[in-house]
Every structure is written in C-alpha cells, then in structure tokens.
Amino acid sequence: MSQTIQSVRGMNDILPGESELWELFEETIRSWLKSYGYRPIRLPIVEPTPLFKRAIGEVTDIVEKEMYSFEDSLNGEQLTLRPEGTAGCVRAVIQHNLAAQRPQRLYYMGQMFRHERPQKGRYRQFNQVGIESFGFAGPDIDAEQILMCARLWDDLGLDGIKLQLNSLGQLEERANYRAELIAYFEKHADLLDEDAKRRLYTNPLRILDSKNPAMQEMITGAPQLMAHLGAESLAHFEGVQQILRDVGIPYEINPRLVRGLDYYNLTVFEWVTDRLGAQGTVCAGGRYDGLVEQLGGKPTPACGFAMGVERLVTLIRESGAEPELEGVDVYLVHQGDAASRMAPRVAEGLRDQGINVLFNCGGGSFKSQMKKADASAAMFAVIIGDDEANAGEVTLKPLRAEEGPGQRNEQKRVSVDLVADEIMNAFFDGDDA
C-alpha cells in the first residue's frame, strides 16, 4: 500500500462541524461590514515579491523570514503567496485608480501565508478579514474602524477583548526619537538578543515590541515616542480618543505598541484577549498615509486593520457563544419502484417552496432510512412507499416531537400538492407557540 499524503504542516483542513461555524462567522462579518458601508474587493493570492518588500519593509519578520516566495518557472518572475492583505489592496487601488474620484471603504477576506512555527493560534496558512479606507485624513475614520470592531465583538457574543492604542506620529518625528532610542539600546547592548542586535540600526522601534522576557525590564525603561510628537500628531491622536470616549469605548494607551510592519503612521491599535495564551491579538491595524505614494500612487491617506479568523473562531467556540447549527427541514424516505420514481419530483417541488430537503440516496429498508432521517436533525420525514405513490400522496412524520399530546406529533397522509403547505404551517405554528 502506498503512503498517504498529509496536508502541509501548519496548513489545516476545516471540516464539517467546524466549517459551519466559519460560515456563520462569515455571514456575521458580511452584514456587519455592509452596515458600515464597506465594499468587498477580491484580490489575488499570489503577488510579485517586490510588492511585499516595498510595502512591508525589508527589516520585518514577514519579509526577513516568513514569506513563501518562489520563481515562476516559465518567466523567472519572483512571486510570493500573500502574507497579508494591505499591500495587494493598495496595489489594486493604484492600478485601477480607485481612490481618484472619491474616498473608498474596502474589505477583503481570505487566506494568508507565513512561514512561522505552527502552534495554537499561529499557522502557516491562516485567514484574515481586513478593511482598508482610502482618502480620509482625519481621526474620524480611525475611530470608526475601532468602533466597528467593538460592535463586531458584540455581534459575535464575545467579551473581554481589550483595545490598546498608540500613536507613531510621522516619519520626521520618529527620526529624532530613533536616535535617542538607539543611544538607549547601545547603553544596554549586553541585554539585547540576536534579533534586537540585528535591528538596532535598521529598525530599532521593532525592539520595543520584542516578547523576549529577558529584555522586558530594559524595554520598559526606554524613552517614549509620545514625547517626540508634534502638535498636529497629538491633535490627531486626541481626536481619535475623543470619539472613543464619546461613544464609551474603553481603551488603554500602550506606548510599546509599534506594530510589526513599517508602513504605519499616527494611530495604531490592537485588540487583545487573555483567553488565547500567547497568541492573544485578534485584530490589529492603524493608519498608513505614506504607503500609496511609496508604491507609486498619488499621495492618499489610508487606514485599516486585519483580524485573525482562526483566533476569533477559537474564541467563539471556547466562550460557548457558538450559535446553534440549523439542520435540514425534511429527510425524504422512499422505497419501491413507483415511490422512487416519484420521490425526486416531490423533493424538487419542496425545494421550489424554499424547503431544505435531504434526499435518501443509496436505497435501504424503511427502517434504516428512518434511522438516517432521525440522525439528520431534520424536522420532518416525508415518507413515500408505493402505497403513497399510487395515491399521489406522501406520509408526513414530525421527527422533533414536542412533549405532551398534540396533533402536530402524529404522522399523517397528505396529498403531494399540499405537503409543502403542511410543512410551512407547522413551522409557523412552532414560531407562534
């Protein structure tokens, strides 16, 4: 026997039982995004490698070590499986001149790929829902995106997800701070780990976001960026906070929140839970006013976030907020020649009326078909034997009998023309009760 082939490490199948929860999540996501006027954009999974190098930055975890890159064997082009969605979205906005006429609110969802060490909440293929807005410069859109998240946690029945906020100011403001930060780290060079040493002169801000326990105390004592922000940056930050206070969204300012990607400026934020262990960030984002121009477009203010779907779905399941899954309405049981010829017609007729039907395929005795009907979680069995078929009727049998006596629980013969009505009425009665 030949060896079976397994999925790639860190890239998971999502099987029935779990996948329904994903679909419910996605339905919630779509109506939530629609209610804020965000429109879907569908982007390729493969992009030219230079896009990510330019957008995300050469000295970042993603570009240094996490990208799945390869050469197109036909033309030698360098390609990469997208590790995040912002770069591709910005590319598309520039390529199609989307933000030229009016501001845009866009969203995407789908798989991202990063070569990381797989563990709970961290995979090599994972899913993000992301939104990006283009053409809005003020703090109102930053705040809107944060408020949206708060509403989503509510819609999903999740609590305990906390908002952390910071401002990265502008590039020029960071330049002064950078020099001061480097000097501070040089003074504590003996405490820096390998990653930090490598980043000291290329991307010292990233050291602030190190998770290495041995460096925490030293990092806590580091100078803070906030002290270097000018009046405009501070006013923008205050504008965001004002709206959050007005709407009553609690937040914490975290001066160490610098985000892993180079393209951010001004507002950055993360939503964090303590229920997922080390992988506690479920959503992260901020403003990136320079990126469109950096990638060759006209200067366009922009702001966005991405959330980790695996982490959120885990939270939904573990918090018991999991919604009930709906079964089909009808299981169709049929046996005998005449019955089996009539059955597909009956099933399609029910579906015409919007009733969901699980059709018994593969034959079997009445008894074994009824067992399958019970296991299907259907509300009714529609049973057709030759007897029924010859009379142009079916037997309608409620499968989820309620307590106590009542006609609803008894099976009855119904003409084929009336069976859909009978079923619909039963559903209505159930709702009224």
Which residue in the set 41, 284, 357, 389 belongs to the binding site for ligand ATP (CB under 6 A)? 284
Q: Which of the ranges 122-130, 171-179, 187-195, 198-206 carries the binding residues for ligand ATP, by CB under 6 A?
A: 122-130
Q: Contact with ligand ATP (CB under 6 A): which of 281, 294, 340, 395? A: 281
Q: Which stretch binds ligand ATP (CB under 6 A): 120-128, 152-160, 250-258, 329-337?
A: 120-128
Closer Cβ to ligand ATP, 129 or 332, answer by number: 129
Of 116, 180, 195, 386, which one interacts with ligand ATP (CB under 6 A)? 116
Q: Shortest distance, CB of residue 101 to ligand ATP, whole angstroms?
A: 30
| Smallest distance, ligand ATP to C-beta of residue 266, A | 16
Decide: is 279 part of the binding site for ligand ATP (CB under 6 A): yes
Among 88, 308, 330, 383, binds ligand ATP (CB under 6 A): 308
Q: CB under 6 A: which stretch of 20-28, 191-199, 301-309, 372-380 binds ligand ATP? A: 301-309
Count of residues in contact with ligand ATP, rule CB under 6 A: 19
Closer residue to ligand ATP, CB minimum distance, 84 or 173: 84
Answer yes or no whether residue 303 interacts with ligand ATP by CB under 6 A.
no
Structure tokens at 342: 């009539």
Counting contacts by CB under 6 A, is residue 123 touching ligand ATP? yes
How far is residue 47 from each of residues 71, 106, 309, 426, measured CA to CA in Å? 12, 19, 22, 53
Closest to ligand ATP by CB, 57 vs 398, is 57
| Identity of the residue, 41 or 283, whose beta carbon is nearer to ligand ATP in the bound complex | 283
310 touching ligand ATP, by CB under 6 A: yes
**Binding to ligand ATP by residue 322, rule CB under 6 A?**
no
User: Is 277 exposed, middle or buried, given 0-12, 13-18 or 19+ CB atoms closer than 10 A?
Assistant: exposed
Residue 269 makes contact with ligand ATP by CB under 6 A: no
Q: Which CB atom, from 106 or from 396, has the smaller least distance to ligand ATP? A: 106
| Nearest-approach distance from CB 284 to ligand ATP, in angstroms | 4
Query: Which of the residues 221 through 260 are near ligand ATP (CB under 6 A)?
Result: 260
**Residue 114 interacting with ligand ATP (CB under 6 A):** yes
Residue nearest to ligand ATP (CB): 308
304 is a contact residue toward ligand ATP (CB under 6 A): no
HEC string for the chain: CCCCCCCCCCCCCCCCCCHHHHHHHHHHHHHHHHHCCCEECCCCCEEEHHHHHHHHCCCCHHHHHHCEEEECCCCCCEEEECCCCHHHHHHHHHHCCCCCCCCEEEEEEEEEECCCCCECCECCEEEEEEEEEECCCCHHHHHHHHHHHHHHHHHCCCCCCEEEEEECCCHHHHHHHHHHHHHHHHHCHHHCCHHHHHHCCCCHHHHHHCCCHHHHHHHHCCCCHHHHCCHHHHHHHHHHHHHHHHHCCCCEECCCCCCCCCCCEEEEEEEECCCCCCCCEEEEEEECCCHHHHCCCCCCCEEEEEEEHHHHHHHHHHCCCCCCCCCCCEEEEECCHHHHHHHHHHHHHHHHCCCCEEECCCCCCHHHHHHHHHHCCCCEEEEECHHHHHHCEEEEEECCCCCCCCHHHCCEEEEHHHHHHHHHHHHHHHHHC
Q: Smallest distance from the beta carbon of 278 to ligand ATP, in angstroms?
A: 8
Contact residues for ligand ATP, defined by CB under 6 A: 84, 114, 116, 121-123, 126, 128, 260, 279, 281-284, 306-308, 310-311
